[in-house]
């Protein structure tokens, strides 16, 4: 017998409003801190819903946001999907031509835009017929700055005067609720749609003890952008648990994050490693009280072990999580498995530094180059496939990409992983980044981690460059720390790699650069370097004869 109602987002907010009317939602803004309660939040989402009806936005339209993390952006998180419309979160850091493509591809009806991002949106729209489908722009705030975008109104006037009650429709769980585009480091961005059922099941799994649970005693601050896969689902989970929300506003600096953690008593926060590296650096010279903070979620890229140790020293548990846009996004969380508490500290940190244990509700398999499932011995590796209730089955309007990335109901993640005896997943590389040299694999990720662990290296990345004899050879790009002699550094790094890895893993070249190019989500953009070096096939003779695979 099926359950009585479909799995939709509305009950999460209904419960928070009824049980926790006075719990706060706090937001850093250009003007200072704004705060109100779930009760007022709920009234404003109803006003937003009524305003969209009033403005003639069809009840199945796609409605986009182009915003930082703040309370009004959060109003759209429930205010749009619970009316039946689809919330499309656009990443404003993407290049203009990607934004043009995305707005056109999604056929957005209305765009909510932050005043500080207005110029960026205008730039993307410039001369583009693609924005023709957009019927209206709403600038977040209480007035409209000078703009070419038309017709335009401001958010407060848009919702003002509307009823604070709304006749919320009973929706099917298959109704699209959300949408994001993957950042497209390999070609055009791909649209990923989230149904109510996907977001509901993702929320419930996040709320399980082996997910990232949050309850009415928590103060939750998503630093991960709200345009990046629903801020990893945290606004939904925090509401489901009745937690206080804290939003860090436009471009928060480490100092802003430190103040919010201290002053609002943040207990759970989440972001990519670079954010926390920034906070760690800030803490070198500044006293920060982290006593309220229990859990720091780190994902998007691998969490360095040094970061886990740093936060352990401050009594904050760093939970390493892995996910993808196609998975709404959480796939695994690196909790320490029951029974492993007796391991020595170093081994515990090593386990926690892996991408973790598959989230309850999902299944995975790992397939090697010969099409066989790998052994769970921590050594074998292959491509990770996943499936489950919050994993997408297809991309939006992209049949050719579907054929590549989906197989018999499984999502092919493109991540190359090993699995240890305890079931911990460890990402060895991205399928497109792994270096194939003389028929053997070299992990670019491992080399990068080794280089970046050196004190004098600010950033480093490693790519495979075409080679006549070995098909590909590794080349390292290194950003030396301030005042560091590049030649001496190269010699040190060669020694370091030489000690740790087989000879044929040694990069053929160490190239000094000022900065590693980054994608719109802050990850290293190897495509840029690969394009630059694609024609510079390394020639025979550059690799010492004894450096061939299998001879070490
Ligand atoms: P994009 O950044 O390309 O828009 P996603 O945010 O969906 O797309 O990125 C998903 C990819 O990010 C994963 O397939 C994986 O390679 C990488 N990733 C995510 N979390 C982690 C992690 N904890 N450690 C290492 N890599 C990660």
Of 228, 252, 276, the one marking the end of a domain is 252
CATH number at residue 525: 3.30.300.30
Q: Tell me what pLDDT residue 542 has.
A: 46
What global pTM score does this model have? Answer: 0.90
Q: How far is the CA of 182 from the centre of ligand 1 (A)?
A: 10
Q: Is the peptide bond before 329 cis (omega within 30 degrees of 0)?
A: yes
Which residue in 429, 437, 445, 430 sits closest to 464, CA to CA? 437
Helix (H, G, I), strand (E, B) or coil at 380: coil
Alpha carbon distance 458, 488 (integer Å): 15
Q: Which of 373, 351, 352, 372 is nearest to 364 (CA)?
A: 373
Number of domains in the chain: 2
Question: Does the CB atom of residue 518 touch ligand 1 within 6 A?
Answer: no
Binding site membership of 185 for ligand 1 (Cβ less than 6 Å): yes
HSE of 321 in the Cβ direction (CA atoms, 13 Å)?
28
Token digits of residue 151? 């017709």
Q: Could you tell me the residue range of the domain that residue 492 belongs to?
A: 434-547
32-41, Cβ contacts within 8 angstroms, sequence gap of 24 or more = 34/71, 36/71, 38/239, 38/242, 41/17, 41/71, 41/74, 41/75
Determine contact, residues 43/61, Cβ cutoff 8 Å.
no
For 327, what's the count of Cα atoms within 13 Å in the CB-facing half-sphere? 28
- Nearest atom within ligand 1 for CA of residue 445: 25
Task: Write the residue with the smallest CA distance to atom 10 of ligand 1.
Answer: 324
Q: Final residue of a domain: which of 252, 286, 301?
A: 252
Beta strands in 101-224 (DSSP E): 110-113, 136-139, 152-154, 176-181, 191-195, 219-222
Closest CA to 49 of 4, 102, 85: 85
- 218 in any annotated domain: yes
Query: What is the CATH number for 83?
Result: 3.40.50.12780
Residue 266 belongs to some domain of the structure: no
For residue 412, tell me if it sits in a domain: no
Strand partners, 412: 385
Q: Examine residue 342 and state whether it is found in any structural domain, yes or no.
A: no
Side-chain-side CA neighbours of residue 507 (13 Å): 29
Give catalytic residue positions: 182, 326, 436, 441
Round to whole Å and give the CA distance between 105 and 254. 36
Q: Which amino acid residue places its CA nearest to atom 26 of ligand 1?
A: 301
Predicted confidence at residue 537, as pLDDT, reads: 53
Which of residues 221, 252, 283 is at a domain's end? 252
Please, what sign has the CA dihedral across residues 158, 137, 38, 197?
positive
Q: What's the rounded Cα separation, in Å, for the pair 229 and 357? A: 20
Residue 367 lies in a domain: no
- With the most atoms of ligand 1 within 8 angstroms of its CB, the residue from 300, 320, 331 to mutate is 300
> Is 65's C-beta closer than 6 angstroms to any atom of ligand 1?
no
Per-residue pLDDT of the chain (552 residues; tens, 9 = 90+): 578 899 999 999 999 999 999 999 999 998 899 999 999 999 999 999 999 999 999 999 999 999 999 999 999 999 999 999 999 999 998 888 889 999 999 999 999 999 999 999 999 997 555 588 899 999 999 999 999 899 999 999 999 999 999 999 999 999 999 999 987 555 688 999 999 999 999 999 999 999 999 999 999 999 999 999 999 999 999 999 999 999 999 999 999 999 999 999 999 999 998 899 899 999 999 999 999 999 999 999 889 899 999 999 999 999 999 999 999 999 999 999 999 999 999 999 999 999 999 999 999 999 998 999 999 999 999 999 999 999 999 999 988 888 889 999 999 999 999 999 999 999 998 888 889 888 778 889 889 989 998 999 999 999 999 888 888 899 999 999 999 999 999 999 999 999 988 888 999 999 999 999 988 777 888 888 888 876 665 544 344 444 444 433
- The residue among 64, 63, 12 whose CA lies nearest residue 38 is 12
- C-alpha span between 451 and 75 (Å, rounded): 43
**Is 438 part of a structural domain of the chain?**
yes
Specify if 91 maps to a domain: yes
Report whether residue 328 contacts ligand 1, using a CB cutoff of 6 Å. Answer: no
In a domain, 409, yes or no: no
């Amino acid at each position: 017998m099926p359950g009585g109602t479909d799995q939709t987002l509305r009950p999460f907010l209904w419960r928070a409003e009824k049980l926790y009317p006075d719990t706060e939602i706090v937001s850093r803004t250009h003007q200072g801190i704004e705060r109100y309660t779930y009760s007022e939040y709920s009234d404003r989402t109803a006003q937003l819903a009524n305003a969209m009806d009033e403005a003639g936005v069809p009840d199945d339209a796609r409605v986009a946001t182009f915003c930082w993390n703040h309370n009004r952006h959060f109003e759209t998180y429930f205010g749009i999907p619970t009316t039946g419309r689809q919330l499309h979160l656009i990443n404003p850091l993407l290049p203009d031509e990607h934004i043009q493509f995305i707005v056109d591809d999604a056929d957005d009806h209305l765009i909510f835009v932050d005043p500080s991002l207005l110029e960026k949106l205008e730039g993307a729209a410039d001369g583009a017929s693609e924005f023709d489908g957009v019927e209206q722009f709403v600038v977040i705030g209480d007035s409209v700055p000078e703009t070419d975008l038309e017709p335009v109104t401001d958010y407060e006037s848009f919702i003002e005067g509307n009823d604070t009650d709304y006749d919320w429709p009973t929706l099917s769980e298959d109704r699209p609720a959300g949408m994001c585009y993957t950042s497209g480091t390999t070609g055009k961005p791909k649209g990923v749609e989230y149904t109510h059922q996907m977001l509901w099941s993702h929320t419930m799994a996040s709320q399980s003890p082996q997910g990232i649970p949050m309850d009415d005693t928590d103060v939750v601050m998503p630093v991960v952008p709200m345009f990046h896969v629903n801020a990893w689902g945290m606004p939904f989970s925090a509401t489901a648990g009745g937690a206080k929300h804290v939003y860090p506003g436009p471009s928060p600096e480490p100092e802003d994050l430190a103040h919010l953690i201290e002053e609002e008593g943040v207990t759970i926060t989440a972001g990519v490693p670079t954010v926390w590296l920034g906070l760690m650096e800030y803490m070198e010279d500044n006293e920060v009280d982290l006593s309220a903070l229990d859990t720091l979620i780190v994902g998007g890229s691998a969490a360095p072990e040094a970061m886990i140790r740093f936060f352990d020293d401050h009594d904050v548990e760093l939970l390493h999580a892995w996910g993808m846009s196609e998975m709404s996004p959480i796939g695994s969380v690196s909790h320490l498995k029951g029974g492993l508490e007796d391991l020595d500290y170093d081994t515990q940190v090593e386990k926690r530094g892996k991408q973790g244990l598959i989230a309850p509700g999902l299944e995975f398999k790992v397939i090697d180059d010969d099409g066989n499932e790998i052994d769970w011995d921590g050594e074998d590796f292959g491509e990770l496939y996943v499936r489950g209730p919050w994993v997408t089955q297809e991309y939006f309007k992209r049949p050719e990409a579907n054929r590549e990335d989906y197989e018999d109901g499984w999502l092919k993640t493109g991540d190359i992983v090993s699995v240890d005896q305890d079931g911990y997943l460890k990402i060895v590389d991205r399928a497109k980044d792994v270096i194939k040299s003389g028929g053997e694999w070299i992990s670019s990720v491992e080399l990068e981690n080794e280089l970046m662990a050196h004190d004098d290296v600010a950033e480093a990345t490693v790519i495979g460059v075409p080679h006549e004899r070995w098909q590909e050879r590794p080349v390292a790009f290194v950003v030396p720390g301030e005042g560091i002699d590049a030649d001496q550094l190269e010699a040190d790094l060669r020694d370091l790699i030489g000690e740790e890895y087989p000879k044929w893993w040694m990069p053929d070249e160490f190239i000094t650069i000022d900065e590693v190019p980054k994608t719109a989500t802050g990850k290293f953009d190897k495509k840029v370097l690969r394009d630059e070096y694609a024609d510079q096939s390394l020639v025979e003779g550059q690799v010492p004869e004894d450096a061939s695979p299998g001879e070490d």
